[in-house]
Structure 1
Amino acid sequence: MGDSEGMYTVDEALSTVGFGKYQALLLAYGGLGWIAEAMELMILSLIGSSLQSEWLLSPSQKSLISTVVFAGMLVGAYLWGFVSDTYGRKKGILGVTTITSVAGLLSAFSPNYASLIVLRCVTGVGLGGMYIFNSWFLEFVPTPNRGVWMIVFSSFWTVGTILEAALAWIVVPSFGWRWLLALSSVPSFIVLVLYCLAPESPRFLCAKGRINEARNILEKAASVNRKLLPSGILVSDQRQDDSENTSLLSPRTDNAKSGSSSLLILFSRKLIRTNLLLWLLFFGNTFSYYGIVLLTSELSSDQSKCGGIALHSQKSQNSSLYTDVFVTSLAEVPGLIFSALIVDRVGRKLSMVTMFVLASVLLLPLSTNPNKEVLTVVYPTEIRTSAVGIASAIGKIGGMVCPLVAVGLVDACQQTYALIMFQVIILVSALSVWFSPFETNGMNLSETL
């Protein structure tokens, strides 16, 4: 594995260690973090009607409950990316879980609408950094089949949405929305309690020059997986790159230096293009996903004032909201399985484009009067979470806007136009993936730019 001088990198170490019990434990911990985020965000589509009835809220006030959460996430997305890339993935995890769990629990005791708005916004600041769990986990996964494990990790989000819908179905009709808020904070508290057992990312440690700490973690991973690390000295990719750059900068012709400069300029242009496309992707994905979830809840609880077919009778509307969200959350499972089967076979780009196009096509039946049956790795380690954080922040802008669209258009009896808009945005997201200059299938995670 190592080179002729007896050196090996984190990627080579992870390839030797393989995916075993150690990574499975990290998957469980990181997955619990994503379950916590999914549950906190799904609350937005499950308590709106209860709050509207109890506090006599207007449609705009109801929409604001969701919008302020995404406003907080907009701040948290960049904040926690900076913390994670500067002080470590573990520090980022500690920060986001502390704020999310505490603010989420306090939300259950909100005496009025104003205090709930403030506390949900603070909760959003914590939720804005939950993507750190994804980056942290993938930095322990060997390059082969990383795409599959990325899909497996994403499946914990679906588990969270299903659990939240089931919890609301059981709790809200009998005990009210406050109990739902309180119980939904439990996964975040569990993540916080288990925090001391989570290791720091060896990629981050190597990028910061803390080689001995990184080697100790890799040795622990090898021991748990009953494997041996490569013989030699652990080095970061940065040191290897510096060695190669030193040889490139040795006395040569001016043409060689000119070619190197042109390569840097080209890479910068590709990175700018990638950033813009990823920001568009995150915006479109967040806008369409949460918009459709909120649209489902709005149509489930609508009073049939638009003159169309009633989705549910007035008597059954309370329980139908939770069953509809539960079924739509469960419907994500086939998509996850299909994604896992194709992601490493056809590549990241084509698989994402395929799923976006399918999502848009499957929305077509909803563009008519709906009834009950129808409704029912590009960035390097040193900036990885900051870059994902910025892209995630752009996505949260979509999350801030989508409640206004989903609630506002349904209230104005224009759900067909809302669905058409979601279809267009999903297709634009697919195009942003298609025109991305990078395909990360089979690529190692780089340490530096």
Structure 2
Amino acid sequence: MESERLVYTLDEALAAVGFGKFQGLVLVYAGFGWFSEAIEIMILSFVGPAVKLKWALSSSEESLLSSVVFAGMLIGAYSWGLTSDNYGRRKAFLSMTVITSGAGFLSAFSPNYISLVFLRCLVGFGLGGGHVFLSWFLEFIPTSHRGKWMVIISIFWTIGTIFEASLAWIVMPILNWRWLLALSAVPSFSLLLFYRLVPESPRYLCLKGRTVHAHQILEKMALVNQKDLPPGMLISYEIIDVDEEYPSEYTSFLSVAREKISIFRSELPGLLLSVVIVDRFGRKPAMTIMFILAWVFLLPLVFSQSAILTTGLLFGARMFSMGTFTVACIYAPELYPTSVRSTGAGVASAIGRIGGMVCPLVAVALTSSCHLKEAIILFEVVIAVTVTCILLFPFETSGRELSDSIAVSDSKQALLAENSSSTPSP
């Protein structure tokens, strides 16, 4: 009797091992990457006013400290995407973390404004690879759990913002902004300490033909999760699928810190809402619903409101905006096959950084000239345009397996049929 030759795909292997302790460890490392990125971005809210006072900077020079970070992120998002897709997720982690932690720490010793601008731009370049952490984590999750856990990882960002605001509240009155910069670089250094324990993405390894190495990682996943892999041999597809749809002063400073902590608490309800609806309703409906609600909460602020009502409306608007952003961070890497996932998500992230560059300049210009109404109207218009774009997206990724390459689905099905037919009937 002819021997039976069984095969299984990577998605079948991930479904078999489930989401367990192994993915939990991956979640912690990737989440700490986002935690570190949130800290380095949030620090701008505290260092900017302190440096402005210390070096007698203009409002434009203060805004530039934020804009150069996002400019660096724009370049870094695309660069680290290419690095990750061509040389591996782990090598991208190492390079961008060395740059972020090194430049972040050296920022504390900046002798003048120009050197601080340069180093913060370099920090932004390293931070541009934040999407690589998401893509890497995404590639370890079974399809049925993908939406929920990709939302949960975003909680690390919120925790990072609250942590940085709390750290600034404690450090700034006692020490100064240089100490805050140095201490804020510690989480990035900690990523380097555990780098040797980080596994490469099995999807990336399969794509590069390193199926044996990918199988070793899957075996370790099964062992840690106390599950069994499907019987047989792991296979990967490298064929083309044209039918698949992928494609101030310290007193006022403490007030600001307290305000920041309060504001970023609003992100947690938004994240929890995303957990509930992202898999149930799908990516596009979830983003549409939450962004429309954000638009509704902002609309009354076009007119003067009481302080309590204004705070409540801003809380709701940020909550739903954060929920939309979280789902978008899931949706983008799901659209692309493994061969270009980090590059595609990087390009999307880079385009988003343009908004990060422009927003400080526009917001400071409008608010400093008391044009708050115009600022709200501008945000409302941007949200309306964004919702229209979401509705026009041709793809829904909820419940779909990740693609490993651009391949012909008919050929994939034919290959599976051939393997099935090669098994002798009893």
* TM-score category, normalised to shorter length: 0.7 to 0.9
Deviations 1:185-210 (A, max 9, x none): 11111111111100000000000000
Which segments of structure 1 move beyond 4 Å, counting only runs of 4 or more? none
Tell me the residue number matched to 2:148. 148
Tell me the residue number matched to 2:353. 396
Deviations 1:228-284 (A, max 9, x none): 11111111133xx46xx8xxxxxxxxxxxxxx7xx59xx6xx84xxxxxxxxxxxxx
Tell me the residue number matched to 2:293. 358
Bigger shift: 369-378 or 153-162? Answer: 369-378
- Distance in 1, Cα, partners of 2:36 & 2:305: 32
Q: What does 1:57-96 correspond to in 2, within 5 Å?
A: 57-96=57-96
- TM-score for the superposition, normalised by structure 2: 0.86
- Distance in 2, Cα, partners of 1:176 & 1:368: 39
SS at match of 2:43: helix
CA contact (8 A) 1:166 1:326 kept: yes
Tell me the residue number matched to 2:118. 118
The percent identity for this pair of structures is 53
Tell me the residue number matched to 2:303. 368
- TM-score for the superposition, normalised by structure 1: 0.82
Tell me the residue number matched to 1:322. 257
Please state how far the C-alpha of 1:75 moved relative to its aligned partner. Answer: 1.0
Please state how far the C-alpha of 1:317 moved relative to its aligned partner. Answer: 2.2
CA contact (8 A) 1:59 1:411 kept: no
Is 1:26 the counterpart of 2:26? The answer is yes
Letter in 2 for 1:386: T
Deviations 1:148-205 (A, max 9, x none): 0010011111111111111111111221211111111111111111111000000000
Q: What does 1:125-144 correspond to in 2, within 5 Å?
A: 125-144=125-144
Tell me the residue number matched to 1:381. 338
Please state how far the C-alpha of 1:400 moved relative to its aligned partner. Answer: 0.9
Is 1:53 the counterpart of 2:53? The answer is yes
Deviations 1:420-440 (A, max 9, x none): 211221222222222111111
Tell me the residue number matched to 1:219. 219
Deviations 1:1-22 (A, max 9, x none): xxx8511111110000000000
Tell me the residue number matched to 2:419. none
- Distance in 2, Cα, partners of 1:341 & 1:43: 31
Deviations 1:97-127 (A, max 9, x none): 1100010011111111111000000001100
- Distance in 2, Cα, partners of 1:354 & 1:169: 35
Tell me the residue number matched to 1:17. 17
Letter in 1 for 2:167: L
CA contact (8 A) 1:93 1:130 kept: no
Please state how far the C-alpha of 1:72 moved relative to its aligned partner. Answer: 0.7
- Indicate the RMSD between aligned Cα atoms, in angstroms: 1.8
1:414 to 371, 387, 395: 371
CA gap of 1:161–1:174, structure 2 versus 1, over 3 A, is same
- Distance in 2, Cα, partners of 1:47 & 1:370: 30
Bigger shift: 373-382 or 129-138? Answer: 373-382
Bigger shift: 417-426 or 336-345? Answer: 417-426
CA contact (8 A) 1:366 1:375 kept: no
- Distance in 1, Cα, partners of 2:130 & 2:297: 29
Please state how far the C-alpha of 1:87 moved relative to its aligned partner. Answer: 0.4
CA contact (8 A) 1:80 1:96 kept: yes
Deviations 1:393-436 (A, max 9, x none): 11111111111011111111112211221122122222222211
SS at match of 2:130: coil
CA gap of 1:370–1:124, structure 2 versus 1, over 3 A, is farther
SS at match of 2:396: coil
Letter in 1 for 2:187: P
Number of equivalenced pairs: 381
- Distance in 1, Cα, partners of 2:123 & 2:52: 20
Unaligned 5+ segments in structure 1 are 246-259, 272-300, 302-313
Tell me the residue number matched to 1:425. 382
Tell me the residue number matched to 1:346. 281
Tell me the residue number matched to 2:411. none
CA gap of 1:62–1:15, structure 2 versus 1, over 3 A, is same
- Distance in 1, Cα, partners of 2:224 & 2:184: 33
Tell me the residue number matched to 1:208. 208
Deviations 1:298-319 (A, max 9, x none): xxx7xxxxxxxxxxxx995221
Unaligned 5+ segments in structure 2 are 313-333, 407-426
Letter in 2 for 1:338: L
